[in-house]
C-alpha cells in the first residue's frame, strides 16, 4: 500500500511493468497515475482513466444507471453523517448496507438492521476504507444469488464476456465457494445480466479483465448491479477451468497492445449456451467456523493437498498465519463435465486435504458440498449463515466418522482432522503418557539420571501450547505409583515463533466468572474500560483487528472492573485466550457464566 516506496523501487531497478495482483492498489487510479508519471511504469489492468470511473462504487453505480441497468436505492454521494444515513434508512427501510466506496473482499461493509447500529457501523466501515469514504445502499437479502460476469476488452470498444460465476456461498460478505457457470436455470435472466455488463463495458471502451457484480433473484426474475472490480479476481480460476483459457496471460498480452481478435475472442459467444463443464473453487482459510470464523494463527504443519484429474490447487505453501494479512491458505479447484460429477469430485478432494498447526474451515467445506441444497443449486447469499448451525453439526461428525468417499485413507484422515479441528494444534487425551529423563548439562562427574513419568488422568482444559489444565499421575522410580495425583496447569506462555506475540500475558480461565477472555487472536487496537469502572452485559470492551477488519469484543456479563490488560506495545498482537478484563468478586456474582461473545459485522 506504500506507493512512494513502490515508485522508488521501480526507479531503482528500472522496472517497466507491474502486475498489481488482487489488492487495493489493483483498483487504484492514483497508483496507476503515479507509477506512470513518476517512473514510466505501466500498471497492468484497465488503465488510469477506466480505473477512475470503475473502482469507486458510487461512480460505477452512476455509470450503470446511465446505461439503464437496475440498481438498488442508495445515497448518491459519500457521507459519514449518521443522521443523514438514518433518515435514508427510515425512508428505504432496514436493513441497509454501509459500504466503503473503495472497499473490497468484504472489507468496509456493514449490514445495519436498525438505527441503533448505524453509528458504530459507519465508524468501522470508515476505518476499513483506504479513502475513509462510505455510502449507504438498500440491502437485498432474501433469495438473491451473487453473480459476477467476467468481461475482457481491448480498449477499442470491442468487449467480450467469458460467461458468469456464482459466488453466493459467503460469510461476512466474503466469498467461500465460487462456481462456474452459475447455478441458475433461467438462462434468459442470466443473458440479461451478461448483456447489461457488456453494455457498460462498451460504453467506457473497457480494457483488460474486469468483473461486473450483481444480485440476481431467479424467483423474482430481477437483478441489481452492485459494482465493478476492474482487476483479476481471486475466483478467476473457475472461469479458466471451464474454458481452458489463461486469464493472466490475456492480461499480459492486452497490456502489450493485443486485440480480442489476436486472442481468438473476436466472435461473441451465445450466453444462452453455457460451457460443457462445471468448476468449483473452495477457499481453504485459517479460521474456526465453530467460533464465529475467528482467525486462527500459528505455524502450518502437515500441509497435504489433493491431486488428480480435474483438480487444481493454487497456494503459496504458507509457513505461518499472522494477523496482518488474509488468512487464505489455498484455493482448491475441481472441474468435471457435469455439475453432479463436479460436486462428487469436490467431496473426494476435500477428504484428501489436511492442514495442521492451525484451525481451518476444511470440515465446514466438506459439510457444504455434502448438503443437498448445494447439489440442487438452492443457494443464496444468506444460505450459509442461515444454515450454519446445521452445517457445523454435520462438520463435527467428521471427527468421529469420515466421509463416505474417504476410501483406504479413512483412519488417517479422521485422526488428522480431529487434530486440526481441536481447540489447539495438539490433541491431548486421557491416558496419554510421557517418560521424561532429566540429565545434567555440566561435564563433571557422572550423576544419576532421573526418569519421570507423566500420565494424563483427566484433561480439564486443552489449549496447549498456550494453556492447559489437567490431572496427572506423576511417578519416579523412587515414588510409589499410588501417590496422590497432581494437577498441572499452564497459565501463560511466551510465543515468539513466526508471529509477533513475543510478550507473555496472563491466560484467562473461561470457567471463571470473573474472567473475560479474548475470544480470538488479533491485534488489539482499542481497549475501552478501566479498573473501577462498571460494565454491563453486551457493552463493547475492545476492538480487535484481523486482516484489516475490526471486530467488537463485548462483555458477556455485568460487573465492576478489577483489572485490565495493559499490552506491552500499541497495536499488540494477542493470542486467543488472553485475559482481557478481570471483574471483582461482587460484580461477578451476578454472572450468567457464559463465555465472551464478539460481534463482527464484516
Indicate whether 248 and 320 sit together in one domain. no
123: in domain = no
State residue 571's pLDDT score: 63
Residue that is last in its domain, among 43, 58, 75: 43
Ordered DSSP codes for 373-400: HHHHT---TTHHHHTHHHHHHHHHGGGT
Active-site positions read 175
Query: To 10 degrees, the CA torsion angle through 134, 72, 192, 238?
Result: 40
- Helix or strand or coil: residue 562? strand
Tell me: do 201 and 258 sit in the same domain. yes
Number of domains observed in the structure of the chain: 5
Is 111 inside any structural domain?
A: no
Q: Clarify whether residues 438 and 379 are in a common domain.
A: no
Q: Where are the beta strands (DSSP E) in 547-584?
A: 549-554, 559-564, 573-574, 579-583
Question: Per-residue confidence at 513, pLDDT binned at 50, 70, 90?
Answer: confident
pLDDT digits over 349-392, tens only? 999 999 998 999 999 999 999 999 999 999 999 999 999 999 99
Nearest CA among 269, 234, 43 for reference residue 152: 269
Q: Average pLDDT in the 265-285 region?
A: 93
Whether 462 and 550 map to the same domain: the answer is no
Whole-angstrom CA distances from 275 to 241, 342, 374, 465 are 10, 14, 20, 50
DSSP assignment of 438-505, as one string?
E---S-SS----EEEEEEEEEEEEEETTTEEEEEEEEE-TTS-TTSPPEEEEE------SSSS--S--
Burial 87-100 (b: 16+ CB within 10 A, else e): ebbeebebebbbbb
Full residue range of the structural domain in which residue 329 is found: 277-424
CA distance 113 to 337: 42
Residue 376 located in a structural domain: yes
Residue 252 lies in a domain: yes
Helix axes 362-370 and 339-351, enclosed angle (nearest 10): 150
Q: What is the CATH number of the domain that holds 524?
A: 2.40.50.100
Task: pLDDT band for 119, please (50, 70, 90 cuts).
Answer: confident
pTM above 0.85, yes or no: no
Domain assignment present for 240: yes
Q: Which three cell numbers stand for residue 19?
A: 502486475
Residue 80 within any structural domain of the chain: no
**Is 17 within a domain?**
yes
What is the pLDDT, as a whole number, of residue 395?
87
Q: Is residue 400 part of a domain?
A: yes
Confidence of residue 483 (pLDDT cuts 50, 70, 90): low
Q: Which 8-state DSSP code applies to residue 347?
A: H
148 HSE (CA, 13 A, CB side): 27
Claim to verify: residue 451 and residue 417 sit in the same structural domain: no
pLDDT tens, position by position, 310-344: 999 999 888 888 877 789 999 999 999 999 999 99
Please give the Cα distance from 556 to 569 (Å, whole number): 26
Cβ contact 88:136 at 8 Å: yes
- Inter-residue contact 18 to 8 (CB < 8 Å): no
372 and 461 belong to one structural domain = no
Q: Taking residues 288-317, what's their average pLDDT? A: 90
Same domain, yes or no, for 250 and 284?
Answer: no
For 229-268, what is each residue's pLDDT tens digit?
999 999 999 999 999 999 999 999 999 999 999 999 988 8
Amino acid at each position: 500500500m506504500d506507493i512512494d516506496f513502490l515508485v522508488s523501487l521501480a526507479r531503482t531497478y528500472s522496472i517497466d511493468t507491474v502486475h498489481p495482483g488482487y489488492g487495493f492498489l489493483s483498483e487504484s487510479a492514483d497508483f496507476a497515475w503515479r507509477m506512470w508519471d513518476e517512473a514510466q511504469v505501466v500498471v497492468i489492468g484497465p488503465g488510469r482513466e477506466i480505473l477512475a470511473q470503475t473502482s469507486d462504487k458510487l461512480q460505477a453505480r452512476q455509470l450503470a444507471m446511465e446505461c439503464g441497468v437496475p440498481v438498488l436505492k442508495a445515497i448518491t454521494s459519500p457521507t459519514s453523517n449518521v443522521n443523514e444515513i438514518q433518515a435514508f434508512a427510515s425512508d428505504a427501510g432496514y436493513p441497509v448496507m454501509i459500504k466503503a466506496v473503495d472497499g473490497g473482499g468484504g472489507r468496509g461493509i456493514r449490514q445495519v438492521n436498525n438505527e441503533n447500529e448505524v453509528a458504530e457501523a459507519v465508524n468501522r466501515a470508515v476505518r476499513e476504507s483506504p479513502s475513509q469514504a462510505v455510502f449507504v445502499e438498500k440491502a437485498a437479502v432474501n433469495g438473491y444469488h451473487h453473480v459476477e460476469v467476467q468481461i475482457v476488452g481491448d480498449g477499442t470498444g470491442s468487449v467480450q464476456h467469458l460467461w458468469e460465476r456464482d459466488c453466493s456461498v459467503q460469510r461476512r460478505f466474503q466469498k467461500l465457494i465460487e462456481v462456474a457457470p452459475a447455478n441458475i436455470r433461467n438462462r434468459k435472466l442470466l443473458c440479461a445480466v451478461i448483456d447489461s455488463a457488456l453494455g457498460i463495458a462498451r460504453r467506457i471502451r473497457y480494457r483488460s479483465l474486469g468483473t461486473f457484480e450483481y444480485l440476481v433473484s431467479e424467483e423474482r426474475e430481477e437483478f441489481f448491479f452492485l459494482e465493478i472490480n476492474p482487476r483479476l479476481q481471486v475466483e478467476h480460476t473457475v472461469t479458466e477451468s471451464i474454458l481452458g483459457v489463461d486469464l493472466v496471460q490475456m492480461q499480459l498480452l492486452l497490456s502489450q497492445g493485443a486485440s480480442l481478435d489476436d486472442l481468438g475472442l473476436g466472435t461473441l459467444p451465445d450466453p444462452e449456451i453455457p460451457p460443457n463443464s462445471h468448476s468449483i473453487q473452495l477457499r481453504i482459510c485459517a479460521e474456526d467456523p465453530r467460533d464465529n470464523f475467528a482467525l486462527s494463527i500459528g505455524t502450518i504443519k502437515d500441509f497435504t493437498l489433493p491431486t488428480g484429474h480435474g483438480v487444481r490447487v493454487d497456494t503459496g505453501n504458507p509457513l505461518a498465519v499472522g494477523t496482518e494479512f488474509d488468512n487464505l491458505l489455498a484455493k482448491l479447484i475441481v472441474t468435471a463435465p457435469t455439475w453432479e460429477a463436479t460436486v462428487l469430485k469436490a467431496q473426494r478432494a476435500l477428504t484428501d486435504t489436511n492442514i495442521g498447526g492451525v484451525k481451518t474451515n476444511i470440515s465446514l467445506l466438506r459439510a457444504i458440498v455434502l448438503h443437498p441444497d448445494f447439489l440442487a443449486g438452492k443457494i443464496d447469499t444468506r444460505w450459509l449463515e442461515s444454515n450454519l448451525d446445521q452445517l457445523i453439526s454435520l462438520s463435527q461428525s467428521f471427527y468421529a466418522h469420515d466421509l463416505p468417499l474417504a476410501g483406504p485413507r479413512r483412519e488417517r484422515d479422521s485422526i488428522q482432522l480431529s487434530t486440526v479441528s481441536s481447540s489447539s494444534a495438539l490433541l491431548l487425551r486421557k491416558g496419554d503418557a510421557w517418560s521424561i529423563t532429566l540429565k545434567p548439562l555440566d561435564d563433571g562427574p557422572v550423576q544419576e539420571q532421573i526418569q519421570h513419568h507423566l500420565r494424563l488422568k483427566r484433561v480439564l482444559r486443552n489449549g496447549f501450547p498456550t494453556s492447559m489444565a489437567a490431572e496427572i499421575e506423576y511417578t519416579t522410580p523412587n515414588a510409589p505409583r499410588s501417590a496422590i495425583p497432581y494437577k498441572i496447569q499452564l497459565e501463560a506462555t511466551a510465543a515468539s515463533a513466526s508471529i509477533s506475540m513475543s510478550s507473555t500475558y496472563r491466560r484467562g480461565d473461561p470457567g471463571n466468572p470473573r474472567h473475560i477472555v479474548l475470544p480470538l487472536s488479533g491485534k488489539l487496537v482499542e481497549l475501552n474500560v478501566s479498573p473501577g469502572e462498571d460494565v454491563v452485559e453486551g457493552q463493547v470492551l475492545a476492538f480487535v483487528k484481523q486482516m484489516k477488519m475490526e471486530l467488537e469484543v463485548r462483555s458477556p456479563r455485568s460487573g465492576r472492573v478489577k483489572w485490565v490488560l495493559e499490552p506491552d506495545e500499541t497495536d499488540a498482537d494477542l493470542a486467543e485466550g488472553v485475559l482481557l478484563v478481570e471483574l471483582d468478586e461482587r460484580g461477578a456474582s451476578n454472572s450468567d457464566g457464559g463465555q465472551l461473545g464478539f460481534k463482527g459485522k464484516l
